[in-house]
Structure 1
Amino acid sequence: MQVMQQESTTLPSRSSARKGSGANKRKRKNKRRKGGFLRFVGRMITVMMLLGGVAMIWLFFTPSGNNVRFLMADTLITTQHRHWAKYIIGQAELDKRVAAYQKSFDDMGTEKDTHTITLPSQEEDEETQEEKPLIEVEEVSGTGYHGYVLTVNDPTKIRLGVPAKRGKGEKVSSMVARTGAVAGVNGGGFADPNWKGNGFKPIGVVISQGKLYYNGISKNASTQVVGLDKQGKMIAGKYTLDELDKLGIQEAVTFQPRIIVNGKGQIRSQKEGWGIAPRTAMGQREDGAILFVIIDGRQPGYSIGASLYDVQQIMLDHGAVIAANLDGGSSSVLVKEGGDIVNKPSSEYGERYLPTAFLVFEDPEKVDIPNIWEGLRPQDIDAGKK
């Protein structure tokens, strides 16, 4: 009896056996699940690697892939991350591409502009004239982009605004509110070291109210300008300061390229459109009205941006006979009376501080725009000082 009792105590109960069996089943089930998940992850990695390999072959070894690759590079070239483009096309190709575009831009500025404008005659009976507002704002959109066209029906109402204080640029919304302008658009470029510039050191020249406010070029050098003469005719192209003086230049900044000359588009296709980016451009119709195109960008789901070819086509569709590019990227902004921003600037830090803006006034003769660069030499201005 004692032996039987001892042996019986060593046998597991039925409930214990069932518990052990259930635990083993759960372990095997969990193991299968874990193995299945790992196999799934492995397959996904393999598929992604295969797709990545196919994509790389397509990008580097097919004509359509090369087009996409260069479009990506051109888009980066127009941003503050230009150096990243070398990882897509290589440093040598990047340097070659930038040089080719620069030569193309220079060539666009050499054709003689012969366009004329016909402003309403002051002797015309006012009752027979169609009443037009000073400014009109229209939304525009296309493949991948959204933006605005600002039409200024009287070009003589435009003045070039500059910052109020030395040492730092000014937001266009602040310029508009401070001066009482009815609208404002960003103007020329500026020195931007490490993309942290203070917006106070312009590139090239700045001319406001017929006076040279800033000169960053040598005496006999030429520069690509965008601006207006005393009669409200748009001036765009490559000129020396003496030539600009003879043309009676009134308001101007340095920027490029000119994209429409004598009613003809200079950019032949999207391939030459200098990538996709936020854009600002200025143009003029035969009736004298000035067109500003402002395109938002770098905002997926809303607007990625436009090429210069896109902007050129918008200008042509609106009747421009001359047009030129202005500073774009995170500088692109359209502001209405009171300082209200119309578009959606792309900078994550908000509206940028800039050295110049084209401002529209009901009565520009009463506006005081002092020269804050007077007495300063370009070499004495620290573009990165906060």
Structure 2
Amino acid sequence: MDPVSSLPSRSSARQGGAGKKGHSTAARKPSKKRKRKKRGFFHTVGRMLMVLILLVAIGEVWLYLTPSGNKMLYLMADTLITTQHRHWAKYLIGQAELDRRVAAYQRQFDEMGEEKDTHTIKPQPGAAEAGDKEAEKPKPLIEIEEVSGTGYRGYVVTVNDPTKIRLGVPAKRGKGEKVSSMVERTGAIAGINGGGFADPNWKGNGFKPIGVVISQGKLYYNGLDSKKSSTQIVGIDKQGKMVAGKYSLDELKDMGIQEAVTFQPRIIVNGKGQIKSQKEGWGIAPRTAMGQREDGAILFVVIDGRQPGYSIGASLYDVQQIMLDHGAVIAANLDGGSSTVLVTKGGEIANKPSSEYGERYLPTAFLVFEHPEQVDIPNIWEGLRPQDIDPGKK
């Protein structure tokens, strides 16, 4: 190829240059638009952040510097105290206040267990005596009623014959059992979670109860330090009378306790509510409680929680008021939170347990039977010492 002919002419060179210049100009126009869009985006984000910071600041001022905000602050803290994440409450009220509040509640619960219970069971007069033919119809053994209030939904279970209740325990050593499994396995017509248990890192196996477990009049488990130690129990004696409060093992034996677990606090004693207001209600959470009417019927209150849009939960004050509204003359708190569960015949779960892992494995449950005398509930803790049980082993 001729080296001269291979060079572009001056006119073609100018055209090429003009073409490049035109191309460059066209390319810069969308670049300016993109810059404007970016500036607009960051400007919007910046304004949103400023609004968010302002709202947070206003919220903190309200929470910490106003009476209504302070009330909400401590309600939030108390709610956290009842969950698996108690330590989070320190970010709201500080570690010192958290420790003080937990200690104060414990003292209050102990005091609520000291008043002597004097209630007696007074069966209602027979229908024939009253002349009420409608009342001649026998009551069903259990009745289940839905209840609801501000922020909560749940159930009240009425067991019209308290002597039909037995305390169920797991079938095998080394691990708790789901209440639905207990009900299905034993043929019970209903089951409600019972006492608490050692729960390290909230991943416990449900096999190591707290305090004592009494089933069919026998001491199945004793986690107390000594024979003279007292514990807050919730249970029933041989006559079907509910017993709740602080007692020693000797006292429980003398009282003829038939079924019992350790838990607290009592919330109704001698027909009087022990919690004076929502402020003392120990936060909002799923709840389980047991009570008794003057006619002997046992009441179980089961409240769902930690499920926005369905049920956030209830305070102990809420549960107390539900019990009073249903005629309870004595009532006490049972294990709640993610343990709260109500099971009906065949192992059907009636409520909505809050645990993200589903129904929990538990050491005890109050079970209702048509014929409790036919039920065999072996003591799976026989021969085991509490110190030999690993509550975290799966």
What range is the shorter-chain TM-score in? over 0.9
Report whether the alignment pairs 1:66 with 2:70.
yes
Q: Secondary structure at the match of 2:346?
A: coil
Tell me what 1:142 maps to. Answer: 149
- The RMSD of aligned alpha carbons is 2.1
C-alpha deviation, 1:17, in angstroms: 7.7
C-alpha deviation, 1:6, in angstroms: 3.9
Report whether the alignment pairs 1:90 with 2:94.
yes
Q: Judge conservation of contact 2:290–2:301 (CA < 8 Å) in 1.
A: yes
Tell me the TM-score normalised to structure 2 length.
0.92
Report whether the alignment pairs 1:295 with 2:299.
no
Report whether the alignment pairs 1:329 with 2:337.
yes
Tell me what 2:6 maps to. Answer: none
> Which moves more between the two structures, 130-139 or 166-175?
130-139
The one of 107, 113, 119 equivalent to 1:109 is 113
Equivalents in 1 of 2:11, 2:176: separation in Å? 96
C-alpha deviation, 1:26, in angstroms: 2.1
Which segments of 5 or more consecutive residues in structure 1 lack a partner in the other structure? none
The superposition leaves residues 120-172 of structure 1 with CA deviations (integer Å, 9 ceiling, x where unpaired) of 57997897634211111111111111111111111110000111111111110
Tell me the TM-score normalised to structure 1 length.
0.94
Matched AA of 1:182: I
Matched AA of 1:275: G
Equivalents in 2 of 1:333, 1:173: separation in Å? 9
Report whether the alignment pairs 1:179 with 2:186.
yes
The one of 201, 223, 233 equivalent to 1:194 is 201
The superposition leaves residues 347-381 of structure 1 with CA deviations (integer Å, 9 ceiling, x where unpaired) of 11111111100000001111111111111111111
The superposition leaves residues 278-303 of structure 1 with CA deviations (integer Å, 9 ceiling, x where unpaired) of 11000111111111011111111111
Matched AA of 1:46: M
Q: Judge conservation of contact 2:127–2:136 (CA < 8 Å) in 1.
A: no
The superposition leaves residues 155-192 of structure 1 with CA deviations (integer Å, 9 ceiling, x where unpaired) of 11000011111111111000000100000000000011
Equivalents in 1 of 2:260, 2:80: separation in Å? 28
Q: Judge conservation of contact 2:173–2:207 (CA < 8 Å) in 1.
A: yes
Equivalents in 2 of 1:313, 1:338: separation in Å? 31
Percent identical among aligned pairs is 77
The one of 325, 328, 353 equivalent to 1:345 is 353
Equivalents in 2 of 1:123, 1:29: separation in Å? 88
Tell me what 2:273 maps to. Answer: 265
C-alpha deviation, 1:9, in angstroms: 5.8
Tell me what 1:222 maps to. Answer: 230
Equivalents in 2 of 1:269, 1:27: separation in Å? 65
C-alpha deviation, 1:105, in angstroms: 0.4
Q: Secondary structure at the match of 1:301?
A: coil
The superposition leaves residues 184-241 of structure 1 with CA deviations (integer Å, 9 ceiling, x where unpaired) of 0000000111111111111011111111111111211111110111111110111111
Tell me what 2:386 maps to. Answer: 378
Report whether the alignment pairs 1:24 with 2:28.
yes
Matched AA of 1:270: Q
Q: Count residues with an aligned counterpart.
A: 382
